[in-house]
A and B are shown apart, each in its own frame.
Chain A
Amino acid sequence: MRLTSYAIAAGAACLCLSTALAQEEPQVVRQNLMKEIGRSVGALGAIAKGEKPYDAATVEQALTTISTNSQAFPDQFPAGSETGHETEALPAIWEKPEEFRANAEKLHTEAETLLASMPADQAAVGAAMKQLGAVCSDCHETFRARKQ
């Protein structure tokens, strides 16, 4: 009886541990960073399209997330994380690391510049979307796998 509980407890511990480990895999970390960027762009997009009213706090928070996450992003590609966890990372990331970093840095700078001037209305948020979108796609063109 006691042995069984130990076994169950140990099994549960293993499960928890493996989940925790999986969450810290660089592939998962960078996917989560990118998902947060996507959600932030979504918040800006809703304002640009007029689905949500302009709200300065939302805009500021979204731009801050994009800025912070884009800075952390290029550090999540250590050797050994080229495959697995459904990564869409292309080999170009490891072949041209400087160019890859420069792209991430560009998004960081763009978000900081926008934060400094703060888009003040729906039209300005729309313009910001265009600026950010160009940076996103420039990088995805070279470094992210084509969608099937």
Chain B
Amino acid sequence: MALRWTRVLGAGAAVIAIGVAAAWFVAKPDPLREETWASLGEPDLARGETLFWAGGCTGCHSADGAMGDDVKIMSGGLALTSPFGTFHVPNISPDPQAGIGEWTLAEFGNAMLRGVGRQGEHLYPSFPYTSYARLSPEDVNDLFGYLKTLPASDNVVPPHELGFPYNMRAALGGWKFLYFNDAPRVELASADEKLQRGQFLVEGPGHCGECHTPRNALGGLQTARWLAGGPNPEGEGRIPNITPGSQSVGSWSESDLVDYFQTGFTPDYDSVGGSMVEVQQNLSHLPEEDLQAIAAYLKAVPAVE
């Protein structure tokens, strides 16, 4: 009898061990191979700058309330409140100690494309690598090159303050397994070059869906309601629906959208408000063709009421 119980326990332990190993395997941090970054050559700084503005890096990584050229100082420090706790945005200026001055391209690339930190740890998806994963290694090289040209800041940022169980980074592996991929968010009926560019900008660097798409209780995007808006995860109010089915933005023409991105004025000459202000100010730095591509994409996504 005793023997049988030992066997059962042993078998149970084995099953658990296999389960844990399998869970670890699917959930462990998964950096890209070193070769990915080997022969990318000199970064194209102009392309890098476009990605910098499209990516809205300044929205979180520059000091709160920074104006003018100061927005290019990526000192970090903004506190992002969320249902899971408070995230303190890191310093990504070229400072060797406080910033990412000593990071290699591979380290930066793994953060951007795989959500893996410098110590091989999972990063929280408050950093939208869930969108940035749609960038190519070439894009990452160009962006990294551009970031290095920006002023250094020695601002040291405190660690995140998260409640249990959200403070366990290992648990992020499971979250990533469920919600992290680099597949297109929507299938477009026709995808000419302009639409493809718009899709890349919106779904990738622009990470528009991170706010404009509603989330489930675990913080995963409800992709069936892609860009359909929802409650504001950072506080009061609602994030607007920006699909063609939207009661507000749905009736805007492509040129209305481009004007809005450039000036911040809606078609009835109200001005942009809330967190969209920084986004719009970043977008206003993009070439007009890119803004037209974004507008075309927003008109091509499925209409959600």
* Nearest CB in chain A: distance from B284 CB, A: 7
* Nearest CB in chain B: distance from A92 CB, A: 12
Q: A141-B274, A141-B278, A148-B237 are in contact. Are A45 and B262 (CB under 8 A)?
A: no
Q: How many residues of A contact B (CB 8 A)?
A: 21
Question: Would you call A137 and B273 a contact (CB within 8 A)?
Answer: yes
Interface stretch among B45-53, B186-194, B263-271? Answer: B263-271
Interface mask (B249-264 → A, CB under 8 Å = 1, otherwise 0): 0000001000100111
B binding-site residues for A, Cβ under 8 Å: 67, 232, 236-238, 240, 255, 259, 262-265, 268-275, 277-278, 280-281, 284
Question: Would you call A136 and B271 a contact (CB within 8 A)?
Answer: yes
CB nearest neighbor in A for B277:
A141
Q: Find A133's partner among B271, B273, B278 (CB 8 Å cutoff).
A: B271
Cα distance A130–B284 in the bound complex, in angstroms: 9
Q: Does A129 contact B (CB under 8 A)?
A: yes
* Nearest CB in chain A: distance from B232 CB, A: 8
Grouping DSSP codes into helix (H, G, I), strand (E, B) and loop, the A interface class, with mixed when no group exceeds half, is: helix
Q: Does A134 contact B (CB under 8 A)?
A: yes
Interface mask (A32-47 → B, CB under 8 Å = 1, otherwise 0): 0000001101100100
Cα distance A144–B277 in the bound complex, in angstroms: 12
Q: Find B238's partner among A41, A129, A145, A148 (CB 8 Å cutoff).
A: A148
CB nearest neighbor in A for B270:
A38
Contact residues in B for A39 (Cβ distance below 8 Å): 269
CB nearest neighbor in A for B240:
A147
CB nearest neighbor in B for A131:
B263
* Nearest CB in chain B: distance from A76 CB, A: 18
Q: Find B277's partner among A41, A130, A132, A138 (CB 8 Å cutoff).
A: A138
Identify the interface centre among A38, A137, A140, A147: most chain B CB within 10 Å of its CB: A137
Cα distance A134–B281 in the bound complex, in angstroms: 7
CB nearest neighbor in A for B284:
A130
* Nearest CB in chain A: distance from B242 CB, A: 13
* Nearest CB in chain B: distance from A95 CB, A: 14
**Which residues of A, 101-148, contact B by the 8 Å Cβ criterion?**
129-130, 132-134, 136-138, 140-141, 144-148
Contact residues in A for B259 (Cβ distance below 8 Å): 45, 49
Question: Would you call B264 and A134 a contact (CB within 8 A)?
Answer: yes
* Nearest CB in chain B: distance from A27 CB, A: 18
Grouping DSSP codes into helix (H, G, I), strand (E, B) and loop, the B interface class, with mixed when no group exceeds half, is: loop
Question: Would you call A129 and B274 a contact (CB within 8 A)?
Answer: no
Question: Would you call B271 and A137 a contact (CB within 8 A)?
Answer: yes
Q: Find A45's partner among B236, B269, B274 (CB 8 Å cutoff).
A: B269
Contact residues in B for A138 (Cβ distance below 8 Å): 67, 277
Cα distance A140–B240 in the bound complex, in angstroms: 17
Q: A49-B255, A130-B284, A134-B281 are in contact. Are A144 and B273 (CB under 8 A)?
A: yes
Q: A49-B255, A146-B236 are in contact. Are A133 and B274 (CB under 8 A)?
A: no
* Nearest CB in chain B: distance from A67 CB, A: 17
Question: Would you call A140 and B284 a contact (CB within 8 A)?
Answer: no
* Nearest CB in chain B: distance from A140 CB, A: 5
Interface mask (A67-98 → B, CB under 8 Å = 1, otherwise 0): 00000000000000000000000000000000
Contact residues in A for B275 (Cβ distance below 8 Å): 141
* Nearest CB in chain A: distance from B53 CB, A: 14
* Nearest CB in chain B: distance from A147 CB, A: 6
* Nearest CB in chain A: distance from B271 CB, A: 4
